[in-house]
Each structure stands twice: as structure tokens, then as C-alpha cells.
Amino acid sequence: MIDPWSSAIIDYEKLTKQFGIKPFGNLKEEINNPHHLMQRNIIFGQRDYGRILKSMREGSDFAVVSGMMPSGKMHIGHKMIVDQLIWYQKKGADIYIPIADMEAYSARGIDFEASRELAIYEYITNYIALGLDLEKENVNVYLQSENRNLGDLAYILSKKVNFNEMRAIYGFSGSTNIAHMYAPLIQVADILLPQTEECGGPKPTVVPVGPDQDPHIRLTRDIAERFKGKFNFMSPSSTYHRFMTGLTGDKMSSSKPKSAIFLSDSPKEVEKKVKSAKSGGRESLEEQRKLGGVPEDCTVFELLVYHLEPSEKKLEELRESCKNGSIMCGECKKNAASMMKNFFEEFSHKREEAKEKAQKILDREPKC
């Protein structure tokens, strides 16, 4: 069982076999200018992505849904989702960003006002600063608690789900509070909302997620089938990305400040963090010259792959130099730290500029 509120997934292969996620693999060859996360196999799995490919190819309507739960500071692992949204926006997708304040309340005990503040000053600000245009006509950012269409839809959908099913999927027990139990139904509604009449009717919809969120996808797909006669929903598609390793070598988490680079960190802080991150280097320089390093076990290399190095050629050259022992970790970390610092120098200005825009985003009515 995967629990979306606490599971740390590491065995991706087992997961794909067990839950029927298909490899993303060769699909990237069918995409014009694929995202680097696809190119580098960080996006490793998918369900029904073919219909998204078709929409992109034909230029027909499709939507992407990516919720945010405002429950802590955004770190560089979360940036991956925004990077994907930016890519989909360029491909012409309608963008839906539900802010999961109801889930934050039921699963984390965060009150609605605090969620709203956090969503504006942390999440929406970062999304804008990273380059997502939230002011476009086909972008719908809303708080779950303030979207009446969403609440109605969740209520209608919940008629065809029972406690035994929720227990089997999420492990809920008799002591789980009802609000927590209802939160996944709100998320199901978030995913299906773009296909309602108010939002333009049935259309291919993709949800880019980490594999810990797959229970919501499976439940949504099942429910979409159950309501075929009433809504004619298309089963939503999904993609799955690998999580970033924390700088300390275990899971990157907002609750472990040493493991993460936060988007609100200063350029100096991030430089320091990269320089002290766990690498795949050897015990001594002599050993490293002789045996080479292990880029696959290196969090610095991972930062370059996920975020910093745009050139495939340069990445491969570095991988080779690391493996054959011609570059040492000190020099390599220094280069990566400087790239990260440069990124954050520009980004922290953009964050300041984005704050004013971010405040206005939630003043608008949900589009549907």
C-alpha cells in the first residue's frame, strides 16, 4: 500500500509492476522537444499518456492538473513540478492549480487562513518567479475551500465510493476523522473538474505526480469510469517522476532543513549547502584518482541532472570524468555550487518581483 501522506518510495521498478504503471521510455521520441526530465528518465512512468501526445500533436484541447498542499516551505524537489507546468503551458495546455487547503486542514491541521497566506507568499510567488504565467486566460488557480463547483462535484462523486474501498486504498481505520477520509474525494474532483461542462467539457487531462500520489490517480480513474453515463469523463492520464535525494543522502524533505535547498534560501546559503552535500566520491583523493567516483550515488550530480546543467553533452562528459577519476569532488562541487548560486541570485530578485502579482491571483474568482 502507498500512503500519499507519509510513504517514501524508493523501489520504482516494483511499484510500476505492482500497480500497472507503464514505462515512459520511448514515448519521449514522439514528443517535439521533450522536457529534460523526460529526456533524462526522471519521468519514468505514465498511464494513458498516448492521448496527451495526440492532443499535443494535433493542437487540440487538453489540461494539466497539479495541486499544491500549502504545508511548508518549497524546496528544489518541488521545482520539478513547476518546470513541468511551464513546459505544458508552452505546449498549449489549460493549467489547473488547486490549492489543497482542505487537505492541509484535514491531514495537517493547518487552518484555512494560514493555508491561504502560505499559498500566496510561498507557493504562488515561487511559481510565478520560476516562469509560470498564472495570469493567462486558460489558467485556473483556486483554493479548494472556495470553489463551489469543486465542492458540488466531490459530493456527487462520493456517492459511488464506500468506506471499505477507502480503507483498502489509503489504510484508513475506524479512528480516521471524516474530514481526512473525504480529502481524497476532493482531490478526485480536482482532477476531473477540467472535464466538467463549466470548464469546457471532456478533454484529455494529465496529472504529473510523484509515485506516492498514485492512489489518488487510481481512485480517480475508477470513479471516472463509474460516472461514464452522467459526465462522460475521459480517464485521466498521469506521469510519474523520481524523487530527488536529499543533500544528506536520504529523502529530501521540508521538515529536514539540511536535506533540502529551499527556494527561499539566499544565494550564499545554497552555495554552502551544495559544497557540503553528500557526494559519490571516495575516501581519499588517491583512491578517487584510481577508482573514480560514483555519479549515480552523488547528490551533487543529481542537482546537475535535475536542475542545473542544460547540456546533455556536458553532463555525459562530467559523468565520464567522474568515473575515470579525472575530476575530484572539490572542483566538481565548486562548479555546481557556483551554478546554483548564480541561479539563486537571479531567482531571489524574481521572487521579490513576483510577490505583488501573487497577492492578486487568489482575489480572482475560480474560472470554473
Q: How far is the CB of 304 from ligand SF4 (least distance, A)?
A: 8
Question: Which part of the chain contacts ligand SF4 (CB under 6 A), choosing from 49-57, 161-169, 209-217, 290-298?
Answer: 290-298
Question: Which part of the chain contacts ligand SF4 (CB under 6 A), choosing from 136-144, 199-207, 308-316, 327-335?
Answer: 327-335
Judged by CB under 6 A, the residue of 327, 337, 340, 358 near ligand SF4 is 327
Told to check if 315 binds ligand SF4 by CB under 6 A, we report no
Residues 84/37, Cβ–Cβ less than 8 Å: yes
Judged by CB under 6 A, the residue of 52, 68, 193, 322 near ligand SF4 is 322
Task: State which residue, 231 or 301, has the beta carbon closest to ligand SF4.
Answer: 301
Told to check if 97 binds ligand SF4 by CB under 6 A, we report no
Task: State which residue, 226 or 323, has the beta carbon closest to ligand SF4.
Answer: 323
Task: State which residue, 80 or 300, has the beta carbon closest to ligand SF4.
Answer: 300
Judged by CB under 6 A, the residue of 172, 231, 301, 347 near ligand SF4 is 301
Q: How far is the CB of 299 from ligand SF4 (least distance, A)?
A: 8
Told to check if 333 binds ligand SF4 by CB under 6 A, we report yes
Give the integer Cα–Cα distance in Å for 275 and 124. Answer: 29
Q: How far is the CB of 322 from ligand SF4 (least distance, A)?
A: 3
Give the integer Cα–Cα distance in Å for 135 and 157. Answer: 30
Judged by CB under 6 A, the residue of 4, 204, 208, 293 near ligand SF4 is 293
Question: Burial, 7: exposed, middle or buried (Cβ in 10 Å; 0-12, 13-18, 19+)?
Answer: middle
Residues 163/172, Cβ–Cβ less than 8 Å: yes
Q: Within 13 Å, how many C-alpha atoms sit on residue 193's CB side?
A: 33
Give the integer Cα–Cα distance in Å for 45 and 200. Answer: 28
Task: State which residue, 82 or 340, has the beta carbon closest to ligand SF4.
Answer: 340
Question: Which part of the chain contacts ligand SF4 (CB under 6 A), choosing from 55-63, 147-155, 223-231, 273-281?
Answer: 273-281
Told to check if 245 binds ligand SF4 by CB under 6 A, we report no
CA-closest candidate to residue 180, choices 58, 2, 5, 53: 5
Told to check if 186 binds ligand SF4 by CB under 6 A, we report no
Distances, alpha carbon 311 to alpha carbons 30, 306, 308, 314, in Å: 20, 12, 9, 5
Task: State which residue, 79 or 333, has the beta carbon closest to ligand SF4.
Answer: 333
Question: Which part of the chain contacts ligand SF4 (CB under 6 A), choosing from 99-107, 184-192, 292-300, 358-366?
Answer: 292-300
95 forms bridges with which residues in the sheet?
64, 139
Give the integer Cα–Cα distance in Å for 244 and 247. Answer: 9
Question: Which part of the chain contacts ligand SF4 (CB under 6 A), choosing from 71-79, 152-160, 257-265, 276-284?
Answer: 276-284
Told to check if 308 binds ligand SF4 by CB under 6 A, we report no
Give the integer Cα–Cα distance in Å for 272 and 262. Answer: 13
Q: Report which residue type is found at 145.
A: S
Give the integer Cα–Cα distance in Å for 219 and 85. Answer: 23
Question: Burial, 133: exposed, middle or buried (Cβ in 10 Å; 0-12, 13-18, 19+)?
Answer: middle
64 forms bridges with which residues in the sheet?
95, 206
Q: How far is the CB of 291 from ligand SF4 (least distance, A)?
A: 11
Contact residues: ligand SF4, CB under 6 A: 279-281, 293, 295, 298, 300-301, 322, 327, 329, 332-333
